[in-house]
Structure 1
Amino acid sequence: MLNITRNSLHEKVDLRQYESGKKVFAERNQKYFNRFLIVFAVILVIVLFLPWTQTVAGKGYVTTLTPDQRPQTIQSPIPGRIEKWYIREGDFVEKGDTLLHISEIKSEYFDPKLVDRTGDQIRVKESSQKSYEEKIRFLTNQVGALQQEKELKIDQAKNKLKQSRLKYRSDSIDLQAAETNLEIARSQFNRAQTLNEEGLKSTQDLENARLKLQEAQAKKVAQENKLLASENEIINAEIELNRIQAEYAEKISKTQSERSTAESSMFQNQADISKLETSYSNYETRRDMYFIRAPQSGYINKAIKAGIGESFKEGEPLVSIMPANYELAVETYVDPIDMPLLHVGESVRVQFDGWPAIVFSGWPNSSYGTFGARIVAIENFISPNGKYRVLLAPDEEDHEWPTEIKIGSGASTLALLEDVPIWYELWRQLNGFPPNYYTPEESGNMAEKK
């Protein structure tokens, strides 16, 4: 059959006489098969030139558009112990509703009248503050009175000093008059003595002249004593003036020192009042924290700390809540090589897990079960999974997203890029090249405007 031997069997035996030989060696018409191949090749060439939309695929999950709409845990800013629950899992709560009641576990806050006692301390300190203010006012008035009295005493001492100086001047003039009288009496005595020696004056006249001379000498000595006394009065008046200034300076300084001490005590009392008011406000706020309330309206997902009497630390999650009102979004992740190809505002097709879909990545218009979205944010720093995070919002011009979709469910995304021929996309895929880099028209126009 294979004609690999030198004994050619087909030359001796006619294989066509057998049914199988007839079927194998019979001449067949290949016209229809050749036509089929030609038509298939033409169709294949036409398909290779059809447009194909390049895409960037990503995997992510459903989330919310804004952070305040995402599921959150409720923590207590203070440590405590659970006393009573007011809700159950799955309940709907309004903003401000009480979720649970806790109690203190720190000994410094055990006193149930801690806030009232702190308020009493504040009132006592405020009374002390008024006393300090009154004392400062009295001391200020006392300083003013002392200064006024000092001025009057100084004026009095200055007047006395002035009087002493005038008296000294008067006594000086009287001393000069006494000296003049002494000179006259001495001249008269000398003249009387000369005349007495010549016999022109009697001894009685001489004695009278001597008596007048002695009287003049006595008056001069008395006037000198009087002048010295006046000088001493001037010195005493100056000493009194200095004493008054020193005395009242000491009194005023002492009063001012007492006022400064009172002011210092008042300022310290003010600081104590401020500390007590801060403590009072903190205690009051802390007492209000014994009731854990809902930060926003939503559904209770899970009680993380269950039971009664269970203790917890500050910042430890107690309850998980899902906001009632939210806007759906998709958080997807793309490879770093594809990240430069994405721009804010570009169209993206989304396929949700559990939602039936038929996806043609290159022909998004022919896909079924996918929904439109647009890129609203692109992360500038790589995520821990080695990819870049992209946030998608529903496309208002496309079909609405299903309301049955739950937050956290998976999603597959296809970011739509340039339209290229299918042959080019096959060539790119076979060579492992990235999609074509391009800039959207809106970005280009904005760059030209700048």
Structure 2
Amino acid sequence: MLNISDKNPLNNLALEKYSTVKNLSNRPHYKILNRIILAVSILAIIALFLPWTQNISGSGAVTTLKPNQRPQSIQSVISGRIEKWYVQEGNYVKKGDTILFISEIKEDYMDPNLVKNTKSQVDAKKQSLESYGSKVSTLSIQIRAIEREKGLKLKQAENKIKQARLKIKSDSMDLVAVKTQLKIANTQFNRSLQLNKEGLKALSDVEEKRLKLQEVEAKIITQENKFYTSKNEFINAEVEINRITAEYAEKVSKAQSDQYTALSNQYDTEAQVSKLENQYANYSIRNGMYYIKAPQSGYINRTLQSGIGENIKEGTPIATIMPSKYDIAVESYVDPIDLPLIKRGEKVRVWFDGWPTIVFSGWPDMSYGTFGGEVVAIENFISDNGKFRILIAPDKNEAPWPKQLSIGSGAQTIALLNTVPVWFEFWRTLNGFPPNYYKGKEKPTKEKK
């Protein structure tokens, strides 16, 4: 069996006989190196127990806190042709200043007197509306007059009925009286005739009684005619009431029909007046839209349309404007795994591109050139880059952010969390655990008696 072990004393003795090996073992550099390694190891072990502030890093850009303070595009509400520019890129404009003038390109609005003509149509329709209103009022007066006349006619006919009824009663009483006279005259004639036969009455008396009897008989016929005439007059009076009622009902119906027709025309004219007034207002407003004005004070960043005589459609962006007054903020993006750790009011350190900065993420007190921030909004829906967007505003309790910052410049953010030892942070990073994610449950305290 071969003896090839490294611990063989024969091999060591064979190497020691060489001078080079003896010189290597006697050099002092190895002792110094061993001491350095030992010191570095001790420092490294001590550093593992140093405090380290957990943080969540993110990147984003400078923006504004309010939506109305961000750069926006100025659009044309109507289509038209560019006629004249009043600004150029970089100019400062106040709210309401004219930026561009456009002319009309639609044939429906090319009439220069369109607003004036529409106003004339509105006035004419209003006069027509007033005429229909007067006609309706006149017909109402006419209907009331017809109703009054009808009432008078009916009263007159009712009086005739009363007169006819009284006349019938009077004629009937006269007829009864004549019948009584006839009976008396007949009785007297028979008595005179009997007395004449007995020789007690003269023949002249008998003739006189016969004449009176004939007169009474003639009178009774006349009285019956008068009685039936009175009845006919009563019936005619009742017929007259029906005729008056029908006649004046027809007149009232005709007047009401004319009134309803006038009301229908009045309502139709009111609708036309409203429509024309709407058109007049639209035309007047459209005339004011030929001059495109600045919605707020700011600087013209860029003109998106160029030249004179170019046609633009409604809603076409014409230029971009940056408001002159704005509250600065930073929009940053964090990974989804870190989103549960971010809350509104969380303190954040921010540093900006182009600004001198020395950053120690685990020791924020030693960082230089960073500024304090506070989380004011958290987006609940993931962005296109696969991260969640948060909005950071300046911390009022710390130094203000630089005024030289421009909207859109880059920014880096660090959200500060708990302070832990360095070795714990290494262990967490190697295992891929999120910082400060798992929180221990607080033990319930017992109430003191």
In structure 2, the residue matched to 1:276 is 276
Instruction: Tell me the distance in 2 between the aligned counterparts of 1:388 and 1:320.
Output: 28
Superposed CA offset, 1:61-87 (max 9, x none):
110011111000000111111111111
Amino acid at match of 2:288: D
Query: 1:103 maps to which residue?
Result: 103
Residue in 1 that maps onto 2:22: 22
Distance 1:110 1:13, change over 3 A: closer
**Residue deviations 1:72-121 (CA, integer Å, cap 9, x gap):** 00001111111111111111111111001001111101111100000010
Deviates more, 1:319-328 or 1:384-393: 384-393
Residues in 2 aligned to 1:263 and 1:165: alpha-carbon distance in whole angstroms:
46
| CA distance in structure 2 between the aligned counterparts of 1:152 and 1:13, rounded to whole angstroms | 158
Aligned to 1:248: 248
Residue 227 of structure 1 aligns to a residue in which SS?
helix
Aligned mates of 1:81, 1:48 — CA distance in 2: 72
Counterpart Cα distance in 2 of 1:44 and 1:234:
138
1:65 maps to what in 2?
A: 65
The letter for the 1-side match of 2:300 is I
Equivalent positions of 1:329-344 (< 5 A) are: 329-344=329-344
> Any conservation in 2 of the 1:79–1:314 contact (CA below 8 Å)?
yes
Q: 1:13 to 1:163 in 2, by over 3 A?
A: closer
**Aligned Cα root-mean-square deviation (Å):** 2.3
- Distance in 1, matches of 2:77 and 2:140, equals 49
C-alpha deviation, 1:162, in angstroms: 0.9
For 2:292 and 2:29, how far apart are their aligned partners in 1? Answer: 89
| Map of 2:356 onto structure 1 | 356
Q: 2:45 corresponds to which residue?
A: 45
Please say if 1:183 is aligned against 2:191: no
* CA distance in 1: counterparts of 2:224 and 2:12, whole angstroms: 186
DSSP 3-state at the match of 1:61: strand
Match of 2:196 in 1: 196
Q: C-alpha displacement at 1:400, in angstroms?
A: 2.0
Deviation at 1:199, TM superposition (A): 3.5
1:341/1:438 contact within 8 Å kept: no
Question: How do residues 319-330 of structure 1 correspond to structure 2 at under 5 angstroms?
Answer: 319-330=319-330
Amino acid at match of 1:237: A
Amino acid at match of 2:290: Y
Tell me the TM-score normalized by structure 1.
Answer: 0.91
CA contact (8 A) 1:16 1:25 kept: no
Aligned-residue offset at 1:45: 2.6
1:34-433 pair list within 5 angstroms: 34-433=34-433
Q: Is there any run of 5+ residues in structure 1 with no aligned partner, and where?
A: 440-450
**Is the CA contact (8 Å cut-off) linking 2:76 and 2:292 kept in structure 1?**
yes
Q: Distance in 1 between matches of 2:29 and 2:96?
A: 87
- Rate the CA distance shift 1:314–1:223 in 2: closer, same or farther, 3 A: same
How much has 1:35 moved relative to structure 2?
4.1
Shift of 1:384: 2.8
- TM-score by length of structure 2 reads 0.91
Work out the CA distance in 2 between the residues paired with 1:75 and 1:361: 45
Partner of 2:444: none
Assess, with a 3 A threshold, how the Cα gap between structure 1 residues 266 and 434 changes in structure 2: closer, same or farther.
same
Q: Is the 8 A contact 1:350 1:412 kept in 2?
A: yes
**Residue 356 of structure 1: CA displacement?**
2.7
Is the partner of 2:337 in helix, strand or coil? coil
Corresponding residue SS for 1:199: coil
| Percentage identity across paired residues of the two chains | 56
1:337 aligned counterpart, secondary structure:
helix
- The letter for the 2-side match of 1:103 is S
Q: What is the aligned residue count?
A: 435
CA–CA distance in structure 2, aligned partners of residues 337 and 108 of structure 1: 59
Distance in 2 separating the partners of 1:11 and 1:267:
129
Stretches (4+) displaced over 6 A: 3-6
Cα distance in 2 for residues equivalent to 1:385 and 1:301? 27
- Could you tell me which residue of structure 2 aligns to residue 444 of structure 1? none
2 CA distance for matches of 1:134 and 1:335?
A: 77
Cα distance change, pair 27–365 in 1 and its aligned pair in 2 (3 A) = closer
SS in 1 for 2:170: helix
